[in-house]
Structure 1
């Protein structure tokens, strides 16, 4: 143990020296709370070795922060007492291309005795990844990041201002080349910054809503995929600021318009072989892949409280908007909550699944960990996928949906939180402390917005993510 600690100290010192040579003066250490907000403590670069050895102090109360910075409480967390230590992941220290003089690292959280904090979401994601590995499964995951960009007002109104007009810097049609032309310098700088930081961009394109874009990055292991999406968002935010723009990743930027999703893609492998391209198997899925996806599909009502954690999320989740609001799956069906993507036979990114319901208000570590837990429960309980659905369930009559066994996913955060509260597999996977903290935050968000109109919810959360 002492030898390993000495190696880490030496590694951190060498890393700090390299950062200094690159002109880095400060390092941002981030974690993501249960409301999906990336929180931060920063240290001078020369303090990196000390942070890697002893951690940086922080209060455990952040686990019960809500999206508007109010503080609630759970049975185990809340109040002014206690302290935790943030430990930077030295393997993920990244010099930030759009923030000169800065580097970034995700952090794990431990108590003062060096034990893992039971509500640390990043360690939860790692535990679930290790649980999958113990079952012989390797997962590759990746996120699609959608955002809306507007011009930053000269007086930069408060983040929760309800009356601020949105000034879009591009006016071209959905998916139109016009938007790329209008913002070509900005989009070039986004992709360049991501590339310099080691993020492999697969594609970037205009999306449906005004000022909306989407970037897709390469898949990785679950924890790295969650790290990557945090870095992607903050890089886009930083590039936007340098161009006099503002980026919103909120589920609903303007009530009644198409919102921002953050779809989660996943693929399974055993011994290096894809379980999504099994010859002669139904839909090409090996039995374990079919059961894993069946577990996700069955858990989706509860998973919505993880992947769609804000009242604003449910403004986005509308039928016939490609958001996946019905509990069904389909082959290349963009209205299904769980989409199987076959891809071309020689496509390395083909043969995987997509959870379409999730948005960027979600803590990505919670999202990947909970999805893995649901999938593993599907394997353990030998869950079978029902028949896939074609077409848009939203245009079917109530009786036809009932005949096909298609039900609406929770339409409110209250419904989703109720399902999470009753989910024994997710409770077991998350543990009492983390599960309770998540529920406490969801209940507080429900209460805060209980009397709010849709426009007020969208305006209040527009710049929180």
Structure 2
């Protein structure tokens, strides 16, 4: 770590960095930033940077407000969109109390704690997200609706289109930040795009997702458009998910791979999937944390609504892909409920905890769903034992409230804050009179 600190200090001097942004994330998943001068960096490394935690969503109660942001030198990167005028860099921070203890309310620490539990069992947790978002002409509505930048569809090539230039610029910027991109393409909705990040350990991925959202917003501003990660910005069009491929490694070997297993999935892999399925309903208030998230989950367009798994079944909640048969390193499972607005630190903590629980308890994997689950009747789904994901944020919060797994993984303070915050959001939403109600009822009632 000392070598890494020396490297940061040397780079700041050699590259003429004028500002260093210290980044961290609140419980809701909003990126926070405070800029310091180069002369302050050494002190921040040794002593941290003090701030009032009670002003940050979910961080502390007023009587324990003092917090320290401790920059992680391994996350140092120069921000490419700042250019050569006043060059600026960033580092992610771990949040601690004044006596040096990790802050229980820091989402990054929640994930580190869960990863440490996996490490105690000999596992490293890798994640590979496919992040969808919409490009709109503006954040302003036109005739009450968002206006996308194009009317293209899945994998469409749009000569001279905004999305091409946008993706090229975004991918280049992400690569400049040390974030490897695997694919980028136009998605199914008008103005909808997807960029897939290469797999990395879950903590790196979560940091990368927070950086990714910032890059996408910055490139949009630069190009005179607006980017949104809202799960379902337009009715009748696909929502924006963040399907994530998950795998556990034991050293250099993929714990999910067994050449003789069904779909080459090992017993550990099957138990992990069984854990995801069993605990999916109670973690959904975190993986899908907004009122709007449930418009995506229950709006069709391949979003999963039912707790099932399958191989090539895109209506299933968990998919077991077989991209490269007999290539053990690529064995993984794909969780499809997660949306692009989730707090990645908390969401990945709970996905890992659910999978580990399946391994620890030896959960049995239920039968695979081979049909399109959406096309079955309610009676057929019941007969097949397919439970559903929560239908609303209210439903999700009530399931989470009773979950030992979520309470234990998040810790008391984060758990209580998420419940409080989401209850408040539901209460405010429930009080709204929507355009749908006025259009449907005003003239006939």
Aligned to 1:87: 70
Query: Displacement, 1:395?
Result: 0.8
Alignment deviations for residues 165-195 of structure 1 (CA, whole Å, 9 cap, x no partner):
6443333233311277443322211111111
Does residue 150 (structure 1) correspond to residue 130 (structure 2)? The answer is no
String of CA shifts for 1:215-272, please: whole Å, max 9, x gaps: 0011111111101111111111111111112111111222443221112221122232
Aligned to 1:413: 393
2-side partners of 1:122 and 1:373: how far apart?
15
* Segment drifting more, 240-249 vs 44-53: 44-53
Query: Residue 388 of structure 2 aligns to a residue in which SS?
Result: coil
Q: Against the structure 1 CA distance between its residues 426 and 167, is the aligned structure 2 distance closer, same or farther, given a 3 Å change threshold?
A: closer
CA pair 361-172 structure 1, distance change in 2 beyond 3 A:
closer
1:14 CA displacement: 4.4
Aligned alpha-carbon RMSD (Å): 2.4
Matches within 5 A, 1:8-407: 8=2, 11-12=4-5, 14-61=7-54, 64=57, 77-79=60-62, 82-100=65-83, 101-152=87-138, 166-178=146-158, 181-318=161-298, 320-345=300-325, 350-407=330-387
Alpha carbons of structure 1 residues 180 and 204: separation in structure 2 relative to 1, 3 Å? farther
Q: Note closer, same or farther for the CA distance 1:380–1:222 as it changes in structure 2 (3 Å cut).
A: same
- Which deviates the most, 181-190 or 291-300? 181-190
Contact in 1 for aligned 2:307/2:317 (Cα 8 Å)? yes
Counterparts of 2:239 and 2:327 in 1: how far apart (Å)? 29
Unaligned stretches of 5+ in structure 2? 437-445
Q: Is the 8 A contact 1:340 1:352 kept in 2?
A: yes
Shift of 1:57: 2.3
Deviation at 1:163, TM superposition (A): 6.9
* Structure 2 contact 152–188 (Cα < 8 Å) conserved: no
How many residue pairs were aligned? 433
Q: Is the 8 A contact 2:146 2:233 kept in 1?
A: no
Q: CA deviation at 1:200?
A: 1.0
- Give TM-score, length-normalised by structure 2: 0.91
Offset of 1:84 from its aligned partner? 0.8
Determine helix, strand or coil for the equivalent of 1:268: strand
Question: In structure 2, how many angstroms separate the alpha carbons of the residues matched to 1:180 and 1:133?
Answer: 48
The answer as to whether partners of 2:21 and 2:33 remain within 8 angstroms in 1 is yes
Contact 1:148–1:212 under 8 Å retained in 2: yes
**CA drift at 1:277:** 2.6
Measured after TM superposition, the shift of residue 429 of structure 1 is: 2.2
CA distance in 1, matches of 2:434, 2:296: 11
Aligned partners of 1:253, 1:278: CA distance in 2, in Å? Answer: 41
Give the Cα separation in 1 of the matches to 2:188 and 2:57: 34
SS at 1:344's partner residue? coil
Instruction: Tell me how far apart the structure 2 counterparts of residues 363 and 225 of structure 1 sit (CA, whole Å).
Output: 12
Where does structure 1 lack aligned partners over 5 or more consecutive residues?
1-6, 66-75, 457-465
CA contact (8 A) 1:171 1:179 kept: no
Decide whether aligned partners of structure 1 residues 228 and 405 sit closer, same or farther in structure 2, where only a CA change above 3 A counts: same
Q: Kindly indicate whether structure 1 or structure 2 has the higher relative contact order, using CA contacts under 8 Å at least 6 residues apart.
A: 1
Q: Distance in 1 between matches of 2:262 and 2:160?
A: 40
